[in-house]
Amino acid sequence: MDAVKWMAKRRQISINGTPYGLTGLPVVYFSPGSGWNYGARVQVADFSRRPYRYKLTLHSVHSSEGKRNTHVRLKVPHLSGTGFGLNIVASIRRDIKARYYGLSNDSDYDRNLTDPAHDNFIDEDYYHYLLKKPRLFFNLLLHVYGPVRMSLDLGLERTDVGRSGAEAFYINAGTPDGVIDGVTGFIGATLVWDTRDDPTIPRRGVFHEWSYETSRNSLLSLFFEEIDFERYTFTDSRYWPRSERLNIAHRTIVEALRGAVPLYSYGEIGGSRRIKGLGGSDTLRGFDRQRFTDNVRVLTNTEARYLLGTRQAFKQHLELHGVLFLDTGQVQPGFNELRLQDLHITAGWGLRTYWNADFVLRGDVGISREQLYTTIKLRNLF
């Protein structure tokens, strides 16, 4: 009975007896920072095996102001006849509003410097920079035993950083290690304990990941500043069903960077799925994206997810969930400087629409002492 319910939520068509799911949406919205955004996200999955035999994701969104985010991802959890899985990602990103406010848990955000009406005005994009980043990522999964798996990660990326405006904070203040951009190859490894009931929309279980990554461009440092750094990331996500409708989810991430770290790497968190932090749509919802950064980053996300209703429409299964959340986080130069009284805290609410238990539309409103932050994403937070 459980298998029948699982398949009924996901299968849309069958070809030669193989059940497939096809989900996707056009993307059209206006953002003050990037203008009109337009594109689409499409997912195709073979559901002849749990959680799927393979899933292909195509995502491409461009904006009228020059922002671009395109990626293609193929994930095969189990290669038939082997104990291996495969994940390949190719992406091209052009972020016209990447942020840098300096290294510190108490970094200053002086809005007068970006306000044209103020006497201290410098530039509306003073805290922003332009980031161009094509990337190719290859991930080989090894299923060790039961919920335990390991992976070997290989990748290549080129990063170009430039000013978004006439003046830029990262130039005037200087970059953390004197490293801005370049071409890097990276190698990583992960160890995972995963007992979640579903990788896309989990409702029970634990996801526990240790991740290591080393990135360098020594062979190419003749043309770029030398990049040579390591990233250690620990992620722990847990899910507790409290009733048929209520689910509690909690995530903790601890990360440390060491070495000659380039500017762009301070603005993201590693692991099997890179996210922006701290601040924005993935971490401290309520603060501006990439608001706080330093060599050590600690964050938590806690969500109470409540099923508001389900509906079958045109043979599609839809679920609507209401969410209350609390996020915390801080950054420091080292672990010895971490203190409870230095935590940044945000809270808010949101909605989740689940389409065929595979496609997620997420909207959140976060509140902090600095601002009200709203976001819409086409994936779950964790």
Query: Which residue would you say has higher pLDDT here, 288 or 226?
Result: 288
Say which residues have a Cβ less than 8 Å from residue 371's Cβ, sequence separation at least 6.
Answer: 286, 287, 288
Give pLDDT, residue 310: 94
Query: Which residue would you say has higher pLDDT here, 245 or 48?
Result: 245
**Angle ∠(24,68,283) on CA atoms, nearest 5:** 75
The whole-angstrom separation of Cα 45 and Cα 249 is: 25
State mean pLDDT over 134-150. 94
Give pLDDT, residue 5: 73
User: How confident is residue 218, by pLDDT bands cut at 50, 70 and 90?
Assistant: low
Give pLDDT, residue 220: 47
The whole-angstrom separation of Cα 2 and Cα 161 is: 50
Q: What is the pLDDT of residues 246-303, one digit of tens each?
A: 999 999 999 999 998 888 899 899 998 889 889 999 999 999 999 999 999 999 999 9
CB 251 within 8 A of CB 236: yes
At residue 213, does pLDDT exceed 90?
A: yes
At residue 178, does pLDDT exceed 90?
A: no
At residue 4, does pLDDT exceed 90?
A: no
Give pLDDT, residue 279: 95
The whole-angstrom separation of Cα 60 and Cα 40 is: 6
Which has the closest alpha carbon to 347: 378, 301, 293? 301
What separation in angstroms does the CA of 50 have from each of 4, 26, 53, 281?
12, 27, 7, 29
Q: What is the pLDDT of residues 334-365, one digit of tens each?
A: 999 999 999 999 999 999 999 998 899 999 99
At residue 7, does pLDDT exceed 80?
A: no
**Residue 292 in tokens:** 């706080």
Say which residues have a Cβ less than 8 Å from residue 309's Cβ, sequence separation at least 6.
Answer: 319, 320
**Residue 166 in tokens:** 């006439």
Give pLDDT, residue 225: 56
Give pLDDT, residue 30: 87
State mean pLDDT over 19-31. 90
Q: What is the pLDDT of residues 67-126, one digit of tens each?
A: 999 999 999 999 987 889 999 999 999 999 999 999 999 999 999 999 999 999 999 999
Say which residues have a Cβ less than 8 Å from residue 18's Cβ, sequence separation at least 6.
Answer: 46, 48
DSSP strand pairing (18-31 vs 246-260): unpaired
Give pLDDT, residue 304: 98
**Angle ∠(372,374,380) on CA atoms, nearest 5:** 135
**Residue 291 in tokens:** 């608001």
Neighbouring CB atoms inside 10 A of 34's CB total: 19
- In this structure, what are the phi and psi dihedrals at residue 219, rounded to the nearest 5 degrees? -70, -20
Q: What is the pLDDT of residues 329-342, one digit of tens each?
A: 999 999 999 999 99
Give pLDDT, residue 221: 44
Give pLDDT, residue 290: 94
Average pLDDT, the chain: 91
Query: Could you tell me where the beta strands, DSSP code E, fall in the chain?
Result: 13-15, 18-31, 35-46, 54-63, 68-76, 84-99, 128-145, 148-163, 182-194, 205-216, 228-241, 246-260, 268-269, 275-276, 296-313, 316-332, 344-355, 359-367, 372-377
Q: What is the pLDDT of residues 188-205, one digit of tens each?
A: 999 999 999 999 899 999
User: How confident is residue 313, by pLDDT bands cut at 50, 70 and 90?
Assistant: confident
Give pLDDT, residue 1: 56
The whole-angstrom separation of Cα 188 and Cα 156 is: 12
User: What structural domains and CATH numbers belong to the chain?
Assistant: 65-377 (2.40.160)
Give pLDDT, residue 315: 81
The whole-angstrom separation of Cα 65 and Cα 361 is: 24
The whole-angstrom separation of Cα 205 and Cα 202 is: 8
